[in-house]
Amino acid sequence: MIDSAMSKKKIITLSSAVLLSLLFPYLTPYTALASEILVFALFAMSYDLVLGYAGMLSFGHAAFFGIGAYTTGIMLVRVYPSVMPALLAGVIVSSLAALFVGYLSIRRSGIYFTMVTLAFAQMFYFTAFKWTGLTGGDDGLQGVPRPSIGPLDLTSEITLYYFILFFVLLSITIGLRVVNSPFGKTLQALRENKDRTMSIGYDVDKFRLIVFIISGFFSGLAGGLYALLLNFVPLSSLYWTTSGEVVVMTIVGGMGTLFGPVLGALGIILLRDIISNFTESWNFIMGLIFMGCVLGFRGGIMSIIRDKLKLNV
Amino acid sequence: MLRLQDVNTFYGDSHILKGISFEVKDGELATLLGRNGAGKSTTLKSIMGIVPPKEGSILFGNEEMVGKRPHQIASLGLGYVPEERAIFPSLSVLENLNLPTKKNRKRLWGLEKIYEYFPVLKERLHHKGSQLSGGEQQMLAIARVLTMDIKLMMLDEPTEGLAPFLVLEIGKILQEIKKSRVVVLLVEQNTRFAINVADKHHIIYEGKIAYRGDNDDFGVDKEIQTRYLGV
């Protein structure tokens, strides 16, 4: 009884979320803002796999986002102007980067892991900064085209929004499958206690590496979509502040929930857009919000929503 | 079955195990006794590879464990129930039991037998680990290891802080585990419980084995019990 009521409520919540996401671009001040929220929602969700589920505080996720963005952009600008192969190249290269960074960092835990990921991300940043011939350096990679896919005219902002939405919904579906699988349960186990998980026969490092690569894959996809959305790749996509932003979105939204970070991205980008109309120092206000979240409600937006839903029963 | 030879283990600079040697044979239920800080838990962690020894040899069957990583040691058939209620709080009881998730894996005890000996777990299959009482968590920690394909089971103070009737339950379960032809190595503070269940005892004192003896001898040797355990 309770189970069926719960799942009914779940279905209602999910379908209203999907409906809302379809109408969303008509509710935001301009369409590109809705698309940007989607891109960061995907990025934050992929980051949540690492932070929320595996308990690894990576401070270098800008690397995979930025590498996805640059690879997709460079493919479109310099190699072959076709969207799907460019996105595919983006996720492949960012997954390989995650394999590389992950392999060298997961053996460290705690603050050392965090610092190693940050160091690698900054290394990629400076490479992009110096290698102007390939990346455009400080100016970013300019003039990323949005070639049509068959009848899909991606130069239309609203079409692009739905194109991005398709990938985001697909990724969330896959993400949910991952976290509810035995693999996902093992990740939660090792987040809670590494020694115990090893003692029942799991190669903990292997699991950490796999989830890191999966996260790199989706971060790279978010980056590639970001390049399409902006028509260029900003150098800042690789900068550590981007890593910081995704940490904040995930924590404010509620880590370990997948949907929480999506809400975190929504809340933060929307607020930033509104606040920056009034003041340059929106970072200050974002900082206050972040502190409020960490001190006041540890579970983030998602925990508040969960409590409310329960109260409504 | 299990033979430790001159095992030396360090935590950083402090020398905890100073040449531990002992042997547990097939079919035995042996204990490691001793005061707090003597090195009992460290011995188990050294065997498991969680705190790898610097020197010495640990043979399990004919295989050397020193140098292997914990997950490799576990998959050779060593089950370990650590000290603090070693469950996963955010997973349900059933998920905890199924966590060693390899499909079609061999289990020492099937779930039916687990439910028979741990009826309380069957009632709470879909509760989260964090929602169990201390005793139930301990039961779950033991049950989870029994769902693995183990030949040797190490338990670190399974009775600590449990109500007397639960201590009795655990005693019964240990006897049943022995019947499953699993060797048991038990770390205990509760000497009376140890005497009730075990075949032989080892006392660790300041990082060395200070005494070894069969249960028949040890059980009546009040002098030894007082000297090393302060009972």
Mutation site for B-interface testing, chosen from A3, A183, A196, A203 by largest number of B Cβ within 10 Å: A196
Q: Is the CB of residue A295 less than 8 Å away from at least one CB of chain B?
A: no
At B75-117, the pLDDT tens digits run 899 999 988 777 898 889 998 888 865 655 678 888 889 999 9
| Cα distance between residue A227 and residue B183, in whole Å | 61
* Helices and strands in chain A, H and E counts: 14, 0
| Tens-place pLDDT, residues A102-141 | 999 998 888 999 999 999 999 999 999 999 889 988 889 9
B28 in helix, strand or coil?
coil
Q: What is the ipTM of this complex?
A: 0.73
Calpha distance B151→B64 (Å, rounded): 15
- Contact between residue B92 and residue B126 where contact means Cβ atoms under 8 Å apart: yes
Residue A188 has its nearest CB partner, among B75, B90, B101, at: B90
> Model confidence at A272, in pLDDT bands (50, 70, 90)?
confident
- Tens of pLDDT, residues B15-73: 999 999 999 999 999 999 998 888 999 999 999 999 999 999 999 999 999 999 999 99
Q: At which residue do the structure tokens 């997709």 appear?
A: A72
A189/B99 CB distance under 8 A: yes
Of A189, A195, A201, Cβ closest to residue B75: A201
Q: Do A199 and B99 touch (CB under 8 A)?
A: no
Q: How close A311 comes to chain B (CA, Å)?
A: 20
Q: CA B145 to CA B76: how far, in whole Å?
A: 13
- Interface contact A107, partner B, CB < 8 A: no
Q: Tell me, what amino acid is at B198?
A: A
Range B2-218 has CATH code 3.40.50.300:
yes
* pTM for this prediction: 0.82
Taking the C-alpha atoms of residue A221 and residue B148, their distance in angstroms, rounded to an integer, is 39
Q: What is the pLDDT of residue A313?
A: 35
**pLDDT (0 to 100) of residue A1:** 41
B interface toward A at CB cutoff 8 Å? 48, 50, 69-71, 74-75, 80, 82, 86, 88-91, 95, 98-101, 144-145, 148
Decide: helix, strand or coil at residue B58.
strand
Torsion-angle region of B211 (φ positive above 0: left; ψ -120 to 50: alpha; else: beta) = beta
Smallest CA–CA distance from B83 into chain A, residue: A196
DSSP assignment of A217-272 equals: HHHHHHHHHHHHHHSSB-GGGGSHHHHHHHHHHHHHH-TTSSHHHHHHHHHHHHHH
For residues A80 and A73, give the distance between their C-alpha atoms in angstroms, rounded to a whole number.
10
pLDDT at residue A8 in the model: 78
What element of type H or E holds B187?
strand B183-187
Cα dihedral A120, A123, A124, A125, rounded to 10, equals 120
Interchain CB contact of A200 with B (< 8 Å)? yes
- Contact criterion met (CB < 8 Å) for A193 and B88: yes
pLDDT band at A90 (very low <50, low <70, confident <90, very high): very high
Spans of all domains in chain A: 32-239
Work out the percent of chain A whose per-residue pLDDT is above 90.
57
- DSSP annotation of B7 reads E
